[in-house]
Amino acid sequence: MDYSGLAVDMLEQMRYLHGVGPQKSIDDVLQGETFVLLCIAHHGGETLPGAISAEMNVSSARIAQALNSTEKKGWITRKIDPCDRRRILVALTPAGNGVVEERMQMMHDLARKMLERLGKDDAKEYVRILGRLVDIFRNEPPCYN
């Protein structure tokens, strides 16, 4: 099997998809402030900035900038962690929860449209393969060599 050739084809197709249609819109939503809000929501509506930084794989300075911006918009609040007064928790406000719900609905609608265009069998196969990749990387350390 020529995995090298397949890798070239896969990367070219991914590059194209990244810039068009529903995938571009989903990629756009999963960046910046929206990703920060989704991350906080994923952690139950409240988390530490360091957890966001780790999940997004970006610097703490970048997270601080995003948190400042989302706080100015009224989407998050910061408060002292009652369990450890040295730590600051960030939490979604009702307005932030509304933004999360809106963006999640938008991503759901885009993903549904993309899967509909694939058709029943290909959509199921695509989701199955994505699940397989998730299982591989959850259970095995990634091999980048």
Gap between the Cα atoms of 9 and 41, Å rounded: 35
Domain 21-119 class, CATH top level: mainly alpha
- The sign of the torsion formed by the CA atoms of 21, 14, 127, 33 equals negative
pLDDT tens-digit profile, the chain (145 residues) = 888 888 898 888 887 777 666 666 776 666 788 889 999 999 999 999 999 988 888 888 889 999 999 999 999 999 998 888 899 999 999 999 999 999 999 889 888 988 999 999 999 999 999 899 888 888 876 555 4
The domain ranges of the chain are 21-119
Gap between the Cα atoms of 68 and 62, Å rounded: 10
**Model confidence, pTM:** 0.76
